[in-house]
Amino acid sequence: MTIDVVVLAAGQGSRMKSQLPKVLHPIAGKPMLAHVLDSAKAVQADKLHVVIGHGAEKVEQAFSADDTISWALQAEQKGTGHAVMMALENLAPSGTTLILYGDVPLTKPETLQSLIDLANDQQLGLLTVTMQDSTGYGRIVRNESGKVTSIVEHKDASPEQLEIKEVNTGILAVPTAKLHAWLPTLSNDNAQGEYYLTDIIAMAVESGLTVETLQPEFEQETYGVNNRQQQAELERWYQGRLVEELMVQGVTVYDPARLDIRPTRSNGKVSVGKDVVIDVNVILEGDVELGDGVVIGPNCVIKNAKLAAGTRVEAFSHIDDAVVAESCVIGPYARLRPGANLANQAKVGNFCEVKKANIGEGSKVNHLTYIGDAEIGKDVNIGAGTITCNYDGVNKFKTEIADGAFIGSNSSLVAPVQVGKNATVAAGSTVTKAVADEELAVARGKQRNISGWQRPVKESK
């Protein structure tokens, strides 16, 4: 059976007060539309159709790398039925069509699969939810037998119908052949002057089809985002779910309300070992792997990184696209940039930055240091204020420091340059030539002490 998914993403989102199309606003660091598309892909849809309108170019550009999407333009917004019509010619002649919304981001794939399973040639699957306050939602109208007969929009509902608590989410699975037959016959004779997709429910009933309903595990799966408040509310609920999953796996989270997990566009995932501890105000973004006993201090950002067992990250450290081996210590106030790789028991301390460099086993970069484009061996000590001068304004060059070397404080290593095994660089040196094994390099101006020096004094006014 062919499964088509149509995602309606043409709305303006004026209440967001933003130049960014509504469906591109993020939940957990990922555009709402990306959440919807990922869920659609999880049910193994044969084709994805996205209907765009306001900000169409921005939306299409944001997903330009995804060649699985078929785009359809709704130049004028004339209702949900009209929006689906824009994609109709690209739908398969038969099978099932699942209709989703680009601003309803958190419907679980399991819910969507159950909905698809309800649909067949003689039956529709409709996702509904029961709300205490159903204001603004289309009401599910049932007959005496409890069968769905129609959906009545809030503005068209009678006083009796307004008392109904079961409401339409707009998410449904429909026999595609029926969709081809019904959509061209929709009317806009209603209070809004729009073509309502919900009218096909009554058409289905008139045609003798059954409308089966399904309710999601969580009401929030059906929530749409129309303003910043709703976006924040959904963000917090989703974060709560993600953090709860980590705690179920045994992670100690000091304050679940102050840990954010952001999967990003790449469908990132946080993987954890045993006895992981995460302090407050931490952000885990993208693909993050935390080994047994890893401890993350407060106010840290870990992005697309792997931290092996026993590693400790102290407060205010940022780790981005780096690999850290076992029992390392990072921070506080350290920054590991893309390409940083630390071997077992390495240390990168406070106010240090490491980029595209390998730090060998047991080596220490403790204070106020920049290491970039470098290969550092085992048991190397890098003194405070050391800089690998890797960039000449055009090209990058490599610094190589062999096992056991000692680099004195406030040294500048001008790449390309090599420092040999067990060599020493004296503090304050600017090294521009290779230092052989076990040599001492001293590269600094000769000290002069001037007697009788008179400090400047302020002139009286």
Tell me which residues are annotated as active site.
367
Residue owning tokens 């067992």: 309
SS3 33: helix
| Buried/exposed code over 151-188 (b: 16+ C-beta within 10 A; e: otherwise) | bbbeeebeeebeebebbbbbbbbbbbbbbbebbeebee
Q: Which residues contact 119 (CB under 8 A, 6 or more apart)?
A: 96, 125, 173, 174, 175
Nearest to 201 by CA among 276, 148, 254: 148
Task: For residue 227, give both structure tokens.
Answer: 């303003």
Sheet holding 364-367, edge to edge: 252-253, 277-278, 295-296, 312-313, 329-330, 347-350, 364-367, 381-382, 406-407, 424-425, 440-441
The secondary structure of residue 75, as a DSSP letter, is S
Cα dist. 430→242, 389, 392, 414, 459 in Å?
A: 49, 10, 15, 7, 39
Q: Report the alpha-carbon distance of residue 203 to residue 193 in Å, rounded.
A: 19
Residues, the chain: 461
Region for 410 from its dihedrals, namely left if φ exceeds 0, alpha if ψ lies in -120 to 50, beta otherwise: left
The residues that bridge with 26 in the sheet, in sequence order, are 31
How many CB atoms sit inside 10 A of residue 199's CB? 23
266 CB-contact burial (10 Å; exposed 0-12 / middle 13-18 / buried 19+): exposed
Nearest to 50 by CA among 29, 27, 34: 34
Which one-letter amino acid corresponds to residue 112? Answer: L
